Structure 1
Amino acid sequence: MPYLTSAMLGAALCCFAFLGFKARGRKGSLDDYVTARNSQTSTTLGLSFVASGMGAWILFAPPEIGAFAGPLALAGYALGSSLPFIVLGLYGPAIRRALPEGRSIAEFADACYGRGVRHWVTLVSVVYMACFLAAELTAIGAITSLLSDVPPNWVIIGVTLATLLYTVSGGLRASLATDRWQAWLLVALLMIVSSVTLWHLPAMPSGAVLPSIPTSSALSVSLTLVIAVTAANLFHQGYWQRVWAARDNQSLGRGAWMGGIATVVIVMVIGGLGMVAAMSGIALGEPPMPFFALLNNVPSWVAMVALVLAVTLVASSVDTLQSGIASLIVSRSEKPGVSITLTRWMTVLLMVPVVIVALQGLSILRLFLIADLLCAAIVVPVLLGLWQRMTPLAAIGGGLAGLMGAILPGWIGQESLSAGIMAASFPNSVPTLGPFLGALLASTTVSVVLAYVTSNKAVGQ
């Protein structure tokens, strides 16, 4: 059985690598390598948003939220997962007009505010995407251990090498090409696994009720997840690349809405399985993993299909992250030989510490939450860059205020600065609303106030 499973996983990764190699750009320019500028239709973009946004996290987080927090909190998670696509669909045309030759969120920040803000945005974006990469690779190792006898380290390294082969070779075009196939494959596999698990589900107890928590708590969880997921994913450079890859503004808008709606449906379906698992009364495991608990009652071949689904999910998100990081670290030089070679090697080198962390099998949820909070603290000042009144001082001041706002709820609540800092570092690895809401409100308020003050001074002078 381990040999058959290894063969199936290897075949899937080889297929992805083949598709990526086949679609790599022929122009040989740096710009085409990192943006595939003005080349993608709405359908391709929609499928790409689905594939790149989905990862192994959908097999863990939505089912657990559905099982323990209920449908309202799950709806918030689904909305938060889809909002970044919709925001870029609505905001993207203005970005394309303001920066027609742009490549990244960092260049957008540079054009709006200068190099100082660009460096800060680049750092936050790279930290967030590195955390995302480590989380995805750690997850596929954990899933492999749960569902098979294949050594998890083999799969972690296999996914890393396979995706690097085609993203380093073909850039964004290779990632977009594999996304199309991966999106359809993950939908098909998810339907198979969901249908079979529901068919073999034990009879529902007569007193089964939907999981739920008090409405106020559910709303708090929902709002926290919307803020955290939306703010963090707006620093996902892989999504920003697709703003300039779109053939035109209409393609971008339609593709973003398609990706957003599909994401909501997928997250609600997989989260619904978690609710069903909780209602059925089956043991959810320790720590609880409702989706995998459902697989205990199904034929053994379903576990193999679920593992291929997990590898597809991880590969589709990892290749997007690798391509996104490449576009962030690329220099402004237009000498293709030098710039593309440097970008490729930097991408490979950055994956080394990511893989080392993933091989440890550690939980990096706390680090992920901190990265999300950093994003929430500066997302509004960055997106306000197209507002004519905004100034570099307002952006910097808003970002610093966002960091202070993240600390403030815990500081006031426990009357201690150290307690506020500790609360903003999520010691229990549980997302709480206070730091995220404080960061968002403080950064927005200070950015707007400073924008009016500094722009009025500039006019007066």
Structure 2
Amino acid sequence: MDLHGYQVLVWVLSSVLITGFVAFALTTAYLRRRRLRGTMRFNMEEFITARSQIGALRLGWSFFAGALGAWVISGPPSYTASGFNYGAGAIGLVMYSLASGLPVIMVALAGNVIRRKVPHVLSLTDFMGWRFGWAAKTYVVLLCLFNMSIACLAEYTTIGTLFGTYLGTKSWVINIIVGATTMIYTAYGGLYISILTDQVQGIAVTLLFAFCVIYVAADFRYPLPTPFPGDCCGSAGCTENPMGFCLAGTNKPGYSSIFVMPASLFTATVFSEAMWQRAWASSDRKALLKGSILGCTGIVLVVFFVGLCGILAAWGGQITATTDYNLYFFAALGAINENNNIDKWIGVIVILLAVGMNMSAVDSLQNGLTAGISSHLLKGRPVSWTKLAVLIINVPLIVLGARPGGLDLKVLDLFLLANMICCTSAIPVLSGLAECLHRFIGGASMIFSCVFPIFCTSWYGVDYFYRNWDTIRVAAAYGYDCTTVPVVTPDMSAEDAAAAQSYIDTCSGAKYQTDSFGSAMNYTWMGNGYAWDFFLVPLGVSIGSLILCGVLNAALQRWWKQPAVLGFTAPATHPHLYPSEPQDKVSEGSTDGEEAKGRSSQEEFDGKPSGSFITKSEGPAPTAAEPVQA
């Protein structure tokens, strides 16, 4: 089958798959509304939390499908199998796999703590407002929106690459279709329907992945050099290893992954409302914990398999200088040609797999964006305002994900930026869970401990860049003159075009041609190759800042009897605040304008949103929440 035939086949099957998911979501949402009309208020809280309605099995599928997006097709293979001292090899494979799944369990454990403290919490940022105050809540919600937007951009970039580069069609078309369809059914059904759709999408993804595993086991017959290549040279002059692979992972990226992968993925998960929403939706503590374990297991297995395929492709000589780094998985399947286009039927299966994962991840992120915006920035406003805000955020992400004008976005670089920013702030945010720190860490202390590491990391990165300029300037090590880069033209022969493209790819890796401040900042936040020291600095400084603030506050309380710098070293902003309403009281606003019927035995909120609190001088905090009636 030629390229045009594959294009027609993929688009037809993708349309059927997308239509099926959307039809299931809309039909299920409609039937549920009819069944529960008069017994449940379909308002803001129900829309973004699906409070206490989801059991363990559905939670497991939702964690699995929501965490595994199309990024899995691109991220793990390029992380393990990139050449020239960038790929982390087998060590990186193990750490990437474990660190992708275990944060789900962390969310479950922390989510149970938050539910016990503030039973009617709508989002992580709601808890931040209760614990640290308005300013800290604003900072956290902005960081959550940034992190989820980067994750969404990575999704659009991956699916855009598959349909644009690999399939050879317009990448923006699939981005618009996925973005629009997921927004339609999430806007109509909310989190509950998104979780039900995750279950269907998760089952479909599992079946397709099982097929890929069987295919690789049966078809991968490329000669593998023996022993396992351990030559980790970092220049183009390696005769035995011209691509510079280090498949054992015995290099800086490999050893760095032991610390970097847990640090980056755990902290990034902290700022993903898409994951925290499952904690509010779980029926009880046991269901949440069991669901997180199920989801974690599935995530680890899938990431390990795809990352292993990247190593197999490099080991078997299937990755060349012209292979797009977002498409290494297809090289292991033998389903990619020298032009990075599809040339085997198994590629169709993988694209369908990517579409299913892309939809499940994007709808989860859109629900997370909705939770973050509606619980703070647009609190008290109709939920239609939030839906419009989510649409506005998605538009530029869809455009950038289509890689306009030759924009070269690498999924790993996008995640590197988000993960490093999250590393600066995750520990101060999680410190809000510790009761013993309430007297010593206030809102301003928390913000200082988040912002100061950003400046320190930038300072460290710029200094590192200037001190190691000769090493970082990759072009000099490769022996290429990147001041004049060739251009691939249609009239070139296939050999000349491949040679020119190889030259271009090499020079694109050597993007730091001048030792400017802009290049230094770019290297610090998007080009350090997941080096361990660039993650240790923000984590270490944030922990040190917390200790400094806590010790200073304790000293001031002991010797001055009261804080001298209000807010910065003051005790927790709200150390004794408890919810003003039980959990089953819900916030104002309706997703469809229906008259609120609710429970006749309960009063309305008198205009108060569910996030309002009162101060009580004594008495224990609520420890249990009444489930939403269904």
TM-score using structure 1 length: 0.92
- Hey, what's the Cα distance between the residues in 2 that align with 1:452 and 1:34? 39
Q: Helix, strand or coil for the counterpart of 2:283?
A: coil
Q: 1:225 aligns with which of 252, 261, 269?
A: 261
What letter matches 2:249 in structure 1? I
Greater fraction helix = 1
Relative to structure 1, the CA distance from residue 364 to residue 277 in structure 2 (aligned partners, 3 Å threshold; closer, same or farther) is closer
Relative to structure 1, the CA distance from residue 253 to residue 183 in structure 2 (aligned partners, 3 Å threshold; closer, same or farther) is same
What letter matches 2:460 in structure 1? P
What letter matches 1:286 in structure 2? T
Q: Counterpart in 2 of 1:258?
A: 294
Cα distance, 1:351 vs structure 2: 1.4
Q: Counterpart in 2 of 1:409?
A: 460
- Hey, what's the Cα distance between the residues in 1 that align with 2:533 and 2:67? 26
Q: Counterpart in 2 of 1:3?
A: 8
Query: Contact (CA 8 Å) 2:128, 2:140: kept in 1 or not?
Result: yes
Cα distance, 1:368 vs structure 2: 3.7
What letter matches 1:378 in structure 2? S
Q: Counterpart in 1 of 2:148?
A: 129
Q: Counterpart in 2 of 1:330?
A: 374
- Hey, what's the Cα distance between the residues in 2 that align with 1:303 and 1:364? 21
Q: 1:287 aligns with which of 311, 320, 324?
A: 324
- Hey, what's the Cα distance between the residues in 2 that align with 1:290 and 1:339? 45
Query: Contact (CA 8 Å) 1:405, 1:441: kept in 2 or not?
Result: no
Superposition pairs of residues 31-430 of structure 1, within 5 angstroms: 31-67=45-81, 68-205=87-224, 207-209=226-228, 211-214=247-250, 217-284=253-320, 285-288=322-325, 289-296=327-334, 300-331=344-375, 339-361=382-404, 362=407, 363=409, 365=411, 366-388=413-435, 389=437, 390-410=441-461, 413=464, 422=521, 425-426=524-525, 428=527, 430=529
Relative to structure 1, the CA distance from residue 217 to residue 346 in structure 2 (aligned partners, 3 Å threshold; closer, same or farther) is closer
- Hey, what's the Cα distance between the residues in 2 that align with 1:20 and 1:46? 18
What letter matches 1:403 in structure 2? I
Q: 1:15 aligns with which of 14, 20, 39?
A: 20
Query: Contact (CA 8 Å) 2:88, 2:251: kept in 1 or not?
Result: no
Q: How many residues align?
A: 459
CA shift digits 1:325-357 (9 cap, x unpaired): 01111157897xx52222222222221122122
Query: Contact (CA 8 Å) 2:136, 2:444: kept in 1 or not?
Result: no
CA shift digits 1:233-292 (9 cap, x unpaired): 211111111111111111111111221122111111111112222222223443343211
- Which stretch of the first structure deviates more once superposed, 283-292 or 97-106? 283-292
Query: Contact (CA 8 Å) 1:46, 1:258: kept in 2 or not?
Result: yes
- Which stretch of the first structure deviates more once superposed, 195-204 or 95-104? 195-204
Cα distance, 1:133 vs structure 2: 1.1
Alignment RMSD, CA only? 2.6
Q: Gaps (5+ residues) in structure 2?
A: 34-40, 82-86, 230-246, 337-342, 468-515, 563-630
Cα distance, 1:96 vs structure 2: 0.6
Query: Contact (CA 8 Å) 1:23, 1:173: kept in 2 or not?
Result: no
- Hey, what's the Cα distance between the residues in 2 that align with 1:268 and 1:327? 31
Cα distance, 1:177 vs structure 2: 0.9
CA shift digits 1:301-336 (9 cap, x unpaired): 31111110010111110000001101111157897x
Query: Contact (CA 8 Å) 1:147, 1:303: kept in 2 or not?
Result: no
Query: Contact (CA 8 Å) 1:406, 1:424: kept in 2 or not?
Result: no
What letter matches 1:398 in structure 2? S
Q: Helix, strand or coil for the counterpart of 2:120?
A: coil
- Hey, what's the Cα distance between the residues in 2 that align with 1:203 and 1:424? 37
- Hey, what's the Cα distance between the residues in 2 that align with 1:414 and 1:161? 42
- Hey, what's the Cα distance between the residues in 2 that align with 1:189 and 1:146? 22
Q: Counterpart in 2 of 1:454?
A: 553
Cα distance, 1:231 vs structure 2: 1.0
- Hey, what's the Cα distance between the residues in 1 that align with 2:9 and 2:249? 43
Q: Counterpart in 1 of 2:620?
A: none
Query: Contact (CA 8 Å) 2:89, 2:249: kept in 1 or not?
Result: yes
Identity of counterpart residues, as a percentage? 25
- Hey, what's the Cα distance between the residues in 2 that align with 1:368 and 1:78? 15
Cα distance, 1:149 vs structure 2: 4.6
Relative to structure 1, the CA distance from residue 40 to residue 455 in structure 2 (aligned partners, 3 Å threshold; closer, same or farther) is farther
- Hey, what's the Cα distance between the residues in 2 that align with 1:151 and 1:55? 20
CA shift digits 1:41-91 (9 cap, x unpaired): 111111111101101111112122333432211111112212321211222
Cα distance, 1:408 vs structure 2: 4.6
- Which stretch of the first structure deviates more once superposed, 57-66 or 200-209? 200-209
Relative to structure 1, the CA distance from residue 334 to residue 139 in structure 2 (aligned partners, 3 Å threshold; closer, same or farther) is closer
Cα distance, 1:160 vs structure 2: 1.1
Relative to structure 1, the CA distance from residue 405 to residue 259 in structure 2 (aligned partners, 3 Å threshold; closer, same or farther) is farther
- Hey, what's the Cα distance between the residues in 1 that align with 2:10 and 2:461? 48
Q: From the CA coordinates, give the structure whose radius of gyration is larger.
A: 2
Query: Contact (CA 8 Å) 2:416, 2:526: kept in 1 or not?
Result: no
- Hey, what's the Cα distance between the residues in 2 that align with 1:101 and 1:313? 31
- Hey, what's the Cα distance between the residues in 2 that align with 1:34 and 1:420? 41
Relative to structure 1, the CA distance from residue 7 to residue 45 in structure 2 (aligned partners, 3 Å threshold; closer, same or farther) is same
CA shift digits 1:5-44 (9 cap, x unpaired): 2121011111111222133363411101000001111111
What letter matches 1:444 in structure 2? I
